[in-house]
Amino acid sequence: MIRVKKVTTLEEKESLKGEQQSLFNIEELENRVREIVDNVRRQGNQALLEYTAKFDGANLEANQLRVSPEEIEEAYQLVDEEFLLAIREAKQRIASFHQKQLKNSWLDTQEDGSILGQLYRPLESAGLYVPGGTASYPSSVLMNALPAQVAGVERIVMVSPPGKNGKMNPYTLVAAQEAGVGEIYKVGGAQAVAALAFGTATIPAVDKIVGPGNIYVTLAKKFVYGAVNLDMLAGPSEVLVVADEKANPRYIAADLLSQAEHDILASSILVTTSEKLVEEVKKELEKQLNALPRKEIAEKSLKDRGLIVIVSTLEEALEMANFYAPEHLEILVENPFQCLGKIKHAGAIFLGEYSPEPVGDYIAGPNHVLPTGGTARFFSPLNVDDFIKKSSVLAFTRQGLLELAPKAIKIAEVEGLEAHAQALRIRMES
């Protein structure tokens, strides 16, 4: 059901990266997605409505694309009070965590009276992509919208595909309302990304698009980059668990399955020093798998993308984790905090047996929009900075300019930019 292999050499450790799927080598889909993006850019609402009918089975008019206040009110009648309490608790914790990420603009006065500084300003608009249709992802709404709200973004827009009845999932709608989303549109897929990037008669363009989606959404984000800013190009979800001989096999199996049930491309990996633990985890996987409603998905995910790696030492296990740079990294060892300083690359790090990955998905506070496919080597979780832009501030006195101008003139002359040099000389002569 799940592959097991021993790793002893550096080459074998590096081969673990081959277990990750590349986001950028899916040529057979690129032309199709590019055509969708181009059609929406040229035809606007007409293309949006045609693709919504074709892909989502929902026949809408242009004036039905935007979710109405009545639809939001109806959604509140369809969700239960327990959900409302849970989503509001999650909202409070997520907002509080991201509030700590805010930075203040600053100005620094030099000895000659000149002033240098940096100005922080929120983006004016942000578009949030939330998967939808028959599924409900209220947690994704919160994770994408709340950092934007904390940053001070004025216009927060959400797009999500409708069901065949032309309506959006009520749990998704309620989460959007609770998170302060101002505009909600019933459109998904590559066409939704194109609409956010270029705008239509109904959906004004935004400055940045965030949020994960399927491969069509990811490729569309890749194609519109430059016309609009992006958070990251997210691929299939993944978890890597580092465990020693004292780890609980029931917990490990449950955590691997919680990732495997996402979809058949999800990766669930265990790296351990204990062969005894491996056998126990395999038994637990079989036992727990049979009780899952999404058994077929989880089973195929484990068979195709699951892996148990046996290494000699905990140091080697942590080295492998750094090679893989996982989206989610669980450290289930006797002293997990002793390992923290040795972790270089991971989207989110879960320390100890009572910090399972799902608590981070829903309610802990840190963002669950995380880098995948090894991109944790250079990407960070979605955060307030993603919705902030920075401007440099310069205010020189004459004395301050006179001290620096000769050096600046020299550099300009070396670069052959005479007008640059002259703009400085003129001020030296006055």
pLDDT digits 0-9 by tens, 120-132: 999 999 999 999 8
- Bridge partner residues of 28 (DSSP): none
- Of residues 240, 252, 87, 102, the one with CA closest to residue 172: 87
pLDDT at res. 16:
61
Domains and CATH numbers, the chain: 3-21+235-364 (3.40.50.1980), 27-230 (3.40.50.1980), 396-429 (no CATH)
Cα distances (Å, whole numbers) of residue 283 to 106, 193, 265, 276, 277: 57, 43, 22, 11, 10
Q: pLDDT tens, 277-318?
A: 999 999 999 999 999 999 999 999 999 999 999 999 999 999
pLDDT at res. 28:
76
Active-site residues: which are they?
Answer: 327-328
Q: How many CA atoms lie within 13 A of 10 on its CB side?
A: 0
pLDDT at res. 408:
97
Both tokens assigned to 105 = 């603009």
Q: Report the interhelical angle of 189-198 vs 215-224 (nearest 10°).
A: 20
Check: CB of residue 356 under 8 Å from CB of residue 330.
yes
pLDDT < 50 stretches in the chain = 22-24
Q: Considering just the CA atoms, what is the radius of gyration of the chain in Å?
A: 25
